[in-house]
Chain A
Amino acid sequence: MAVERRLRLDPVACDAFGHCAELVPELIGIDEWGYPVVDGSPIPSHLMDHVDAAVRACPRNALSVQRVDGPGRRRPIASSRVVVRRPGAP
Chain B
Amino acid sequence: MTTLEARPATARILAGIGGAGQRLDLAAHTAVHGPLALGARRDRHWADGFVDAIAESGITGRGGAGFPTGRKIETLRSERRRPMVVVNAMEGEPASCKDHFLATRVPHLVLDGAALMAACVNAPGVTVCVPRGSTAAARSFVTALAERERAGVGGVPVTVVQPPARYVAGEESALSNWLDGGDSRPQFRPDRPAVPRVKGRPALVDNAETLAHVALIARYGPVWFREVGTPEAPGTTLVTVSGAVDEPGILEVPLGSMVSSVLSTAGAGSTGGVLLGGYGGTWLAPSDVGTPYDPVSLREVGCTTGVGVMVALPAGGCGLAETARIAHWMASESAGQCGPCVFGLPAVAQDLTALAQGRASHRDADRLWARLGTIDGRGACRHPDGVVRLIRSAVTAFAADVNRHLAHGPCPGAAWPSVLALPHREVVEWR
Output the nearest chain B residue to A36 by Cβ-Cβ distance: B339
Q: Does A8 contact B (CB under 8 A)?
A: yes
Also in contact, A11 and B190, with CB within 8 A (given A31-B374, A37-B374, A37-B378): no
Q: How far is the CA of A34 from the CA of B339 in the complex (A)?
A: 8
**What band does the interface of chain A fall in when counting residues whose beta carbon is under 8 Å from B?**
10 to 19
| Nearest CB of chain B from residue A61's CB, rounded to whole Å | 12
Interface size on B, residues (CB 8 A): 16
Segment touching B, from A12-20, A47-55, A80-88: A12-20
B191 x A11 contact (CB < 8 A): no
Output the nearest chain A residue to B335 by Cβ-Cβ distance: A12
Also in contact, A11 and B340, with CB within 8 A (given A31-B374, A32-B374): yes
Output the nearest chain B residue to A76 by Cβ-Cβ distance: B190
Also in contact, A11 and B343, with CB within 8 A (given A31-B374, A74-B191): no
Of A14, A66, A74, A76, which contacts B339 at CB under 8 A?
A14
Also in contact, A66 and B340, with CB within 8 A (given A11-B378, A12-B380): no
Q: How far is the CA of A13 from the CA of B344 in the complex (A)?
A: 17
**Per-position 1/0 for B181-195, Cβ under 8 A of A:** 000000110110000
Output the nearest chain A residue to B190 by Cβ-Cβ distance: A8
Contacting residues, chain B, for A14 (C-beta < 8 A): 338-339
**Per-position 1/0 for B365-391, Cβ under 8 A of A:** 000000100100011100000000000
Of A12, A32, A74, A76, which contacts B338 at CB under 8 A?
A12
**Per-position 1/0 for A43-81, Cβ under 8 A of B:** 000000000000000000000001000000010100000
A11 x B344 contact (CB < 8 A): no
**Per-position 1/0 for B337-376, Cβ under 8 A of A:** 1111001100100000000000000000000000100100
In chain B, positions 376-412 with a C-beta closer than 8 Å to chain A are 378-380
A35 x B340 contact (CB < 8 A): yes
B374 x A10 contact (CB < 8 A): no
Of B347, B374, B379, which contacts A11 at CB under 8 A?
B379
Contacting residues, chain A, for B339 (C-beta < 8 A): 11, 14, 16, 31, 33-35
Output the nearest chain A residue to B186 by Cβ-Cβ distance: A12
In chain B, positions 150-191 with a C-beta closer than 8 Å to chain A are 187-188, 190-191
For this complex, 28 residue pairs linking A to B, each with C-beta atoms less than 8 Å apart, are A8-B190, A10-B190, A11-B188, A11-B337, A11-B339, A11-B340, A11-B378, A12-B187, A12-B337, A12-B380, A13-B188, A14-B338, A14-B339, A16-B339, A31-B339, A31-B374, A32-B371, A33-B339, A33-B343, A33-B347, A34-B339, A35-B340, A35-B343, A35-B378, A37-B378, A74-B190, A74-B191, A76-B190
List 12 additional A-B contacts (Cβ < 8 Å) besides A12-B187, A34-B339, A35-B378.
A10-B380, A11-B188, A11-B378, A12-B380, A31-B339, A31-B340, A32-B374, A33-B340, A33-B347, A35-B340, A35-B343, A37-B374
